[in-house]
Amino acid sequence: MTDWLIKVIAAVFIISIVTLILPSGKIGKFVKPLLSIVLIAVIFSPLFDGEFTIGTQSGSSFASDIKYDENYISAIYDKKINYYREGCLNILEDFGISGGVVKIEYIVNEDYSLNIKKVKIYLSDAVIKTENEHIVLMSEIRSEISEYLFLDKKDIDIYE
């Protein structure tokens, strides 16, 4: 970084001296734009050399210096899980079930992706307002939630 700064300052100094010495005739009108291009090239040279690193020390990569705010990530995933929980409750209501409780077990992977492990649906205090058979209804609920959460049906438990 300091080498680059020295190069830019030296280029500005040399270009300033050349501009003062240069006659203002036809040659001056031709050379001044070329000197501007040279200065721009010096300024942007680190981008083409691959030596310029932003916010790093001793050659470490910028991506490895990023620190994630675990509390923020946790809050975002809590909101996402609540959104999924509400969606599951809406599915239950579409089947005529109100007052059910949905619990979603999940983990956050090392790459900060969300992985839903299991969904537990508690219907012991729920009100079921449908005339479908219980077994068919539970199978349909399991299928619908499985599609909604992109989850295998065996990972959805329904407790009555």
**47 and 12, same domain (yes or no):** yes
Q: Show which of 65, 91, 113 is a domain's final residue.
A: 65
Pair 101, 147 in one domain:
yes
pLDDT tens digits for range 61-73? 555 556 777 888 8
- The pTM (predicted TM-score) of the whole model is 0.57
- 158: three-class secondary structure by DSSP: strand
Among 16, 31, 65, identify where a domain stops. 65
The reply to whether 111 and 59 lie within a common domain is no
> Does residue 87 share a domain with residue 25?
no
Q: Comparing 85 with 44, which gets the higher pLDDT?
A: 85
Q: pLDDT tens across 120-137, in order?
A: 999 988 888 877 777 788
Q: How confident is the model at residue 112 (pLDDT cuts 50, 70, 90)?
A: confident
Asked whether residue 41 falls in the same domain as residue 9, the answer is yes
Residues in CB range of 23: below 8 A, 6 or more apart: none
Which spans in the chain are helix H? 2-21, 26-49, 70-94, 134-149
| Domain extent at residue 53 | 2-65
Let me know whether 16 and 90 are in one domain: no
pLDDT score at 66: 64
pLDDT of 91 over the 90 cut: yes
- 37, 65, 93 — which closes off a domain? 65
CATH code of the domain in which 116 resides: 3.30.300.30
**What does the block give as tokens for 36?**
């501007």
Statement to judge: residues 83 and 153 lie in one domain: yes
